[in-house]
Structure 1
Amino acid sequence: GSLIEESLKKLKYQIKTALQPINMFEALGINYWGPFNGHNLEELEEVFKLAKAFDESVLIHVITKKGKGYAPAEENPTKYHGVSPRRPRQDAEIVSWSKACAECVEKIAEKDKRVVCLTAAMEEGCGLSRFKKRFPDRFFDVGIAEEHMLTYAAGLAAGGMRPVAFIYSTFLQRAGDQLYHDIAMQKLPVVISLDRSGLVGEDGETHQGLLDIPWFKSVPGLIIASPRDVADMEFMFSNLIKNCDMPAIVRYPKGDAPKRLARDVDAPCAPWLKAEVLRHGREVLLIGHGGVISMLIESCNKIADIYNIDPTLVDLRFLKPLDLETLNKLFVDHSLVIMAEESYAIGGIGEQLLGFAQRVNKHIRWEHMAVPDLYVPHGAKDEQLRYVGICCDEVVKKVSEYLETAPR
């Protein structure tokens, strides 16, 4: 025992003499080691071995270069922050939800000088580089400080501006208190552009946008919109910025945004705060919003082909307030309801609608397709959707099970 103690004392002395601590840390009584080259693995292994043998807590300072070893990433670290597999060049007409949303707000800002955009270190991720270039005095990147961003947005709105805060769904979790107290309770017209809502594929477990509906649908006076295509997204942003004096969230998924989905070219968008019946059918009622609508359209076609039943399909569009007036008659007229959403089942819209549906029609059969009580692992988004059971095959399977047991 004494030999080990003596060895550790010598090691401690050697480290303190070889790695002189910065004055600030020394004054605080902190064992500071470094800085070390974070790309020298042999050196780092040696440092970590010494730290394990050391008998006190240690602060190890490591310096790395983002994108090290790949010249394009070293030159443009922001662009290469996250890299997807190389894919064939897409049609120029196809845009991401992030880009479509940023362009929409930019068009509104051209005519309305009250519009300002805020982001928390996600300028490129949220597609705001062009807005920043065009309106530098109306663009605010607050760094990784989501709480500050929403309180700042509240102050801007209180001063007569129309702030749009661009934020990923997973990062809004950090600022729930500010949304509740500083924005919603004050009834301030802040619009939150909620990117990456739902499952996010390769971004990984920590970035899933699955909590915004369960957390924020209970906030009084907050509008939550979920567009299925660019046409509805533009309609929603335009109304929220120009005509609405309430706080709001517009949630949209990661990926490509359809310009017009299940709508005639010249047809206007459905009325404000109203759900939209996309297909009128019988017996089976499919309900969804946002990114799942395209999957439900495919499901309708398969059900019609296999079972000769034309389901009714409804796009909720607005998750708060819910258009219960439209849903009321549909619940009376249908026997099976399948509600699909990219959100946790616990606290989801399906859970909320179930109680209402059973009061309207106590014999209705209800199926809720949502994310179960688990952390969804990393993978491609299609794989994740199948993993949690939100896919066309599952919809068809539920209809099959219903038809096997339902009285004919």
Structure 2
Amino acid sequence: MNLFDIKDPSIIKTMSIKEMEDLAKMIRSFLIENISRTGGHLSSNLGIVELTIAMHYVFSSPKDKFIFDVGHQSYVHKILTGRSAEFAHLRQYKGISGFQKRKESIHDVWEAGHSSTSLSAALGMATARDLNHENYQVVPVIGDGALTGGMAMEALNQIGSDKRRMVIIFNDNNMSISENVGAMDQAFTKLRVSKPYTTLKHDLKGALSTSKFGKSVLHTMQNVKNAVKENVVDTSIFGDFNLDYIGPIDGHNLPSLIRVLKLASENDGPVVVHVLTKKGKGYSYAEEDKTGSWHGVSPFDVRTGKSLSQMPMGHVSWSEVLSSTLTSLAAKNKDIVAITPAMKSGSKLQNFFDKYPERSFDCGIAEEHAMTFAAGLAVSGKRPFISVYSSFLQRAYDQINHDVARMNLPVVIGIDRCGLVGEDGETHHGVFDIAMLRHIPNMILSQPKDAKEAQNLLYSAFQQKEHPYAIRYPRGNVPFEKAKEYTYIEPGTWTSWSFDEHSRLIIITYGDCVDKIISKAQVNQMPITVVNARFFKPLDGDMLERLCQMELPILLYETDMLAGGLSSSILEYANDHGYTRHFVRLGIEDHFVEHGSISQLRKLERLDINSLFDIISSYL
């Protein structure tokens, strides 16, 4: 079979087991070959090949609704629903998304880029189905990492109470991005080593066949299901939620998967099918990965497994700058502790965890809990640093507001992957955190322009003990030289640069844009002043007063949302202090930004450096 000939998943229903097994091998080769060129989520998709084929064999999409938790493991689903030809442009501008996307296909019924949403969405769909007196299955696929999320537990609580018909596929690979942690994972471990369903069913058949009553039971599938429930559910955490449970099942054995999914589809209420899969299956480098390196990958050499993206000499990731500085500071301050909600590898905290294991805490996929946990440490005299991706920080907004800032606790928040992040698209762009945090009382919110300033800002955050202090930093790398000593930066102080004393234009900006603008202005000998607004809160009132009194045009250039961002705060300041002047605001307008490379997206939003200098030239 040619994968490009698959236009509709109904073709799967005509296949034999052997043909489906051959198809699984073909899909794995296709995924490895294509993702090695475009980058993307590799391991999670290699692990779910047989399961996705079995789902399309037993159920009928789009009538039956498939929801993939997080959505980054929906590549196989995309292939089986006729999108193979579009994988050459996976995650690229105007190409297909790396997540489920409703506008792409009628087979994509839900969109998510954050964990633990699938069960709530599934219950909503099942409830709507029942209210409309319709007949279809709702099939959420959720991993063991995502089940640590509180939202998933909240959904299970109502699912067990409402008892609406759905098949919950528990895709258990003992990994989220890196290895899972916590008591929930320990409970899952007990299930993994329990008697498999296929063996149990065989044992039940043998036992039931010894009596007349038992033989009659075997003729009724519902009674077999009840027998399975009696023997398995009581030892399952899902049984505590009043859910039927079948498992564990070998997630790479197509006959077993098909048999069990058919059984589950006939259940008259919610049933959990526990499937054991191997993340990265079929590609040795990904199979052996324990750190999350193969979860999301840039283009790589299939033969060697080496990335084709080379870090420039002397550069490290922004995450590494912060984590390296944190490790150095912790050597002198024994109260410093590090917290991550399941992003130890992505946030480059592995070295800190190795060096200070007793001061390192991975909370699993639970941003809300992680933030209040940090508050509890801070109120007890510890100095917590919590690293959270900007797009995931939204989930901890209430905790920052209610538990950290309201009590004015000195929690240091590292906001990783701020700004446009590129290929992961709408769900992952970190462009909302400035507006989200700027209005919260007691907050200090900053962003460094370079690695030196990043080190000094983190040092300054721990030097003060009065307020919560957030430092945002983007995806990507930066030239890095480890500081021999640190300099304290007073909150609410900006810096400025001018080519000469006869400036004709002022640009207020922040982050790594500062030096790029200065460099281009120097080359072109442009008479402008560039302001490094390294604090969004508090603002530098003294400098703003001087700037507002100058008779010069002021461009406010930001690479995040305009609404509620830096320019909003400057306009508020100008209005409140009686400065009636015109500002030119450049930033992301009122819309979600699609996926594509960061350079493409900045150009699309008219926020690239060339577009900025076209505007500068028009004023000069």
Q: Could you list the per-position Cα deviations for residues 276-304 of structure 1 after superposition, in whole angstroms to 9, with x for gaps in the alignment? A: 002255221111111322442355347x4
Report the AA paired with residue 62 of structure 1: V
Q: Residue 368 of structure 1 corresponds to which residue in structure 2?
A: 585
Displacement of 1:17: 4.1
Cα gap change, 1:236/1:27 in structure 2, threshold over 3 Å: closer, same or farther?
closer
CA contact (8 A) 1:288 1:296 kept: no
How far the C-alpha of 1:140 sits from its partner, in A, is 1.1
Q: Give 1:70's aligned amino acid.
A: Y
Q: How far apart are residue 31 of structure 1 and its match?
A: 5.3
Inter-partner Cα distance in structure 1 for 2:387 and 2:239: 41
Residue from 104, 112, 125 that aligns with 2:346: 125
Equivalent residues of 1:231, 1:269 under 8 A apart? no
CA distance in 1 between partners of 2:604 and 2:248 (Å)? 44
Is 1:186 the equivalent of 2:186?
no
Q: Look up the equivalent residue of 1:323 and give its one-letter code.
A: D
In the alignment, which residue of structure 2 is the partner of 1:319? 536
Partner SS, residue 206 of structure 1: coil
Alignment of 1:153-164 (within 5 A): 153-164=374-385
SS in 2 for 1:166: strand
The farther-off stretch of 164-173 and 50-59 is: 50-59
TM-superposed CA distance for 1:44, in Å, is 6.0
Is 2:247–2:274's contact at 8 Å kept on the other side of the alignment? Answer: yes
Residue equivalent to 1:279: 498
Q: Does 1:79 pair with 2:293?
A: yes
Residue 62 of structure 1 aligns with which residue? 275
Q: What's the TM-score once normalised by structure 2's chain length? A: 0.56
Secondary structure of the residue that 1:209 maps to in structure 2? Answer: coil
Moved more, 240-249 or 49-58: 49-58
Q: Which residue identity does 1:289 align to in structure 2?
A: Y
Structure 1: which amino acid aligns with 2:295? Answer: H
Change (3 A) 1:229 1:35: same
Change (3 A) 1:46 1:346: farther
Name the structure 1 match of 2:233: 23
The 3 A distance-change label for structure 1 pair 29 and 112 is: closer
- 2:459–2:486: 8 Å Cα contact kept in structure 1? no
1:146/1:171 contact within 8 Å kept: yes
SS in 2 for 1:140: strand
Amino acid at match of 2:406: M
Q: Secondary structure at the match of 2:553?
A: strand
Change beyond 3 A, Cα 1:56–1:295: same
- How far 1:226 sits from its partner (Å)? 0.7
Q: What is the alpha-carbon distance in structure 2 between the residues aligned to residue 314 and residue 26 of structure 1?
A: 60
Bigger drift between 126-135 and 327-336 goes to 327-336
Q: Does 1:338 align with 2:555?
A: yes
Cα distance change on mapping 1:38 and 1:294 into 2, 3 Å: farther
Which residue of structure 2 aligns with residue 110 of structure 1?
331
CA distance in 1, matches of 2:267, 2:513: 54
For the residue of structure 2 that corresponds to 1:79, the secondary structure is coil
Q: Secondary structure of 2:402's partner?
A: helix
**How many Å separate the matches in 1 of 2:564 and 2:258?**
46
Q: What residue number does 1:204 align with?
A: 425
Tell me the alpha carbon deviations over residues 81-130 of structure 1, each in whole angstroms, 9 at most, x when there is no partner. Answer: 11112335434521110011001011111111111111111111111111
- In 1, are the aligned partners of 2:456 and 2:487 still within 8 Å (CA)? no
* Counterpart in the other structure of 1:173: 394
CA distance in 2, matches of 1:395, 1:218: 28
Deviation at 1:219, TM superposition (A): 0.7
Instruction: Give the drift of 1:63.
Output: 3.0
- Relative to 1, partners in 2 of residues 1:147 and 1:27: Cα closer, same or farther, differing over 3 Å? closer
Indicate conservation of the 8 Å contact 1:285/1:334, yes or no: no
Is the contact between residue 452 and residue 480 of structure 2 (CA under 8 Å) also seen in structure 1? yes
Instruction: Name the CA shift for 1:26/1:91 in 2 (closer, same or farther; >3 Å).
Output: closer
TM-score relative to the length of structure 1: 0.83
**Equivalent runs, 1:363-402 vs 2, <5 Å:** 363-364=581-582, 366-402=583-619
CA distance in 2, matches of 1:115, 1:267: 17
User: Residues of 2 paired with 1:334 and 1:35: CA distance?
Assistant: 72
Instruction: Verify: 1:253 aligned to 2:474, yes or no.
Output: yes
- Provide the rounded CA distance (Å) in 1 between the counterparts of 2:485 and 2:595: 40
Within 2, Cα distance between the matches of 1:164 and 1:266?
20
Match of 1:235 in 2: 456
Three-state SS of the structure 2 residue aligned to 1:153 is: helix
Structure-2 residue corresponding to 1:292: 513
What is the Cα deviation at residue 346 of structure 1?
A: 1.2
Give the counterpart letter for 2:447 in structure 1. S
Change (3 A) 1:361 1:299: farther
State the distance in 2 between where 1:346 and 1:299 align.
28
CA-to-aligned-CA distance 1:42-96 (integer Å, 9 cap, x gap): 8767877887787765544433221111111111142211111233543452111
Moved more, 382-391 or 13-22: 13-22
Does the CA contact (< 8 Å) of 2:457 and 2:489 recur in 1?
Answer: no
Question: Which residue number corresponds to residue 406 of structure 1?
Answer: none
Structure 2 residue runs without a partner (length 5+)? 1-134, 136-218, 300-306
How far apart in 1 are the matches of 2:504 and 2:359? 51
Q: 1:174 to 1:268 in 2, by over 3 A?
A: closer
Task: Determine if contact 1:286/1:296 at 8 Å carries over to the other structure.
Answer: no
Separation in 1, partners of 2:535, 2:241: 53
8 Å Cα contact 2:505/2:619 also seen in 1: no
The worse-fitting range, judged by mean Cα deviation, of 19-28 and 107-116 is: 19-28
Q: What does residue 361 of structure 2 align with?
A: 140
Residue-pair matches, total = 384
Q: State the shift of 1:36 in Å.
A: 4.6
What CA distance in whole angstroms lies between the structure 1 residues aligned with 2:253 and 2:592?
Answer: 34
**Displacement of 1:40:** 5.6
Give the distance between the partners of 2:440 and 2:311, measured in 1 at CA: 39
Change (3 A) 1:69 1:400: same
- Please provide the CA RMSD for this pair: 3.2
Question: Sequence identity of aligned pairs in percent?
Answer: 34
Q: Specify the alignment match of 1:9 in structure 2.
A: none
Partner secondary structure for residue 149 of structure 1: helix
Cross-structure match for 1:98: 319
